[in-house]
Structure 1
Amino acid sequence: MPDLALDLRYLKYAMLVAEHGSFRRAASILNLSQSTISRRIQLLERRLGMPLFERNHAGARATLAGERFMRDAAVGADHLHQAVLDMASTQRGEIGDLRIGLMASLASGFLSDLLGTYRRRFPRVDVRVQEAASQANAAGVLNGRLDAAFITGSPLLPGCEAEHLWDERIFVALPEDHRCAGGRVVAWDDVREDIFLVSAEAAGPEIEDYLVRQLSGLGFRPRLSVQQVGRENLLNMVAKGFGLTLTTYSTLGATYPGVVFLPIGAATEMVGSSVVWSATNRNPALKRLLQISSELAEKHRRGTSRARRAESRRG
């Protein structure tokens, strides 16, 4: 058996000699001396323990054993060459696996743009998404199950790094026949007597905490109805008149018949989101995701600043 460290260039030289039937023509193509080609193929033959060519004054012809060896070895060489290319691509973050946790909608907004951009740039990375509450996503990052998580607020997790990426306006989802559905904005006082539907999953616990803080400040406890459903069925329940629910701008990218989305509270009431990851995570695919996240966040901030200046001039 040949040494596994056998220089694959020698195999390439042998295949060229077999293809052209001549050491001289192979040397000319490779821009090497004929003696160099001959010595290296002889070394290959010694390692294999058999001759690859029948040599004569007219040139060289592969032996039966040599012809079979080069045919079979070419397949293995192609596989090994591809493996080397894939390894390099993996190191560049172009191939691999990426596991992320989130709680926001992917219908529109920053996270939708981010994942769309990432997919277009790195289509060979296998991205797996977990939708869960912030606490579950944070635990996933801490135990290594997730490479990164997109969490509301500014999380401080041991051994982790975080970067604030975007802010979203808070909206209330109302049935289209609700008394406030025809307005442009909803005040908290307008819905103090309504039932708020909250999912037990994903962003549900965060929304429940937010409602308690907002409405308890007005002197009463909010009426909450916790449902064991996801975002889609929660909004379908709103359409059927079971209550209202809170969401963010990103949800507005999808259509929900019978539901009206209006901003609630003051225009300054925003929910911020960050990406958090382990400081020891060396996944190259994660590095690429973080780079794109920072790029889009900066682009988003510049766009927001321009919009505010334009609005100020109009005012």
Structure 2
Amino acid sequence: MAQRGHIGELRIGLMGSLSSGFLSDLLGAYRFSFPLIDVKLEEATAQANAAAVLNGRIDAAFIPGNPRLPGCRAQILWGEEIYVALPDAYPTRTHQPFSLEKLRNETFLVTADGPGPEIEDYLVRQLSSPGFRPRISVQHVGRENLLNMVAKGFGITLTTKSALGAVYPGVQFQRLGGDEGTVISSVIWLESNQNPALKFLLDMGLDRARRQDRWAEHTIAPQPT
């Protein structure tokens, strides 16, 4: 029964929003196709999720970028637009993509866990210059309260298009333009993992990626241990 997907357990690490987007649709379709597989989700940083895959604590992790980890395989599944979350009172030009450079003097709010550390690294890479580092305020709150802080004027933050599936009063979302405005996301798993429930998820994810766009052509083979 486990081999046919009727029973089993699947442990997944993630760090993004499930309100909409590729991962939300994938997990919803997986649940519909395999309702008796017990799916356990764990939200953490990309580094923590990768470590959990390596030590076998979780079966797979969905993380940004194009990771190369010993003994693991990786598959790029989708690309997602990056948005900046601003207070409603912030002056904007309708339908004009934002540039991070124009926001360099703002205070950027990030969470202490989840996607926060990756967002902080991204901001430092994009905005730092000799004698200047972006002003980043690390908050020990979840995504919802971080956006509530944006609404109250404590600062701004970055998110991805998948977060736009929820409504946050007092917050507007503006797309970033140019090369800085897209992030790719991958699924990683141990090459030695034989969990049938994982194979079903990987097959479904790859099929969806192939039907949507070009990302499915990029597979990373396992690295030497």
Give TM-score, length-normalised by structure 2: 0.91
Instruction: Report the alpha carbon displacement of residue 272 of structure 1 after superposing the two structures with TM.
Output: 0.6
Task: State whether structure 2 residue 49 is matched by structure 1 residue 133.
Answer: no
Q: Structure 2 unaligned segments of length 5 or more: list them.
A: 215-225
CA spacing shift, 1:181–1:175, aligned 2, 3 Å: farther
Distance 2:140 2:107 in 1: 16
CA spacing shift, 1:199–1:129, aligned 2, 3 Å: same
Equivalent pair of 2:83/2:181 in contact (CA under 8 Å): no
1:173 alignment partner, one of 82, 85, 102:
85
Question: Letter of the aligned partner of 2:13 in structure 1?
Answer: G
Q: Which has the higher strand share?
A: 2
Question: Letter of the aligned partner of 2:34 in structure 1?
Answer: F
Instruction: Report the alpha carbon displacement of residue 268 of structure 1 after superposing the two structures with TM.
Output: 6.3
2:32 alignment partner in structure 1 = 120
2:198 alignment partner, one of 282, 286, 293:
286
Instruction: Report the alpha carbon displacement of residue 180 of structure 1 after superposing the two structures with TM.
Output: 2.8
2:114 alignment partner in structure 1 = 202
Q: Structure 1 unaligned segments of length 5 or more: list them.
A: 1-88, 303-315
Superposed CA RMSD:
1.7
- Report Cα offsets for 1:95-146 as digits up to 9, x if no partner: 1000000011101111001001100100110000000000100011011110
Matches within 5 A, 1:203-282: 203-217=115-129, 220-266=132-178, 269-282=181-194
Question: Letter of the aligned partner of 1:95 in structure 2?
Answer: I
Distance 1:218 1:98 in 2: 46
Q: Which has the higher helix share?
A: 1
Q: Percent identity?
A: 61
Distance 1:193 1:282 in 2: 49
- Report Cα offsets for 1:49-91 as digits up to 9, x if no partner: xxxxxxxxxxxxxxxxxxxxxxxxxxxxxxxxxxxxxxxx211
Instruction: Report the alpha carbon displacement of residue 155 of structure 1 after superposing the two structures with TM.
Output: 1.0
Distance 1:300 1:183 in 2: 24
Structure with greater Cα Rg: 1
1:299 alignment partner, one of 189, 204, 211:
211
| Helix, strand or coil at the partner of 1:90 | coil
Q: Which has the higher contact order (CA 8 A, sep 6+)?
A: 2
1:142 alignment partner in structure 2 = 54
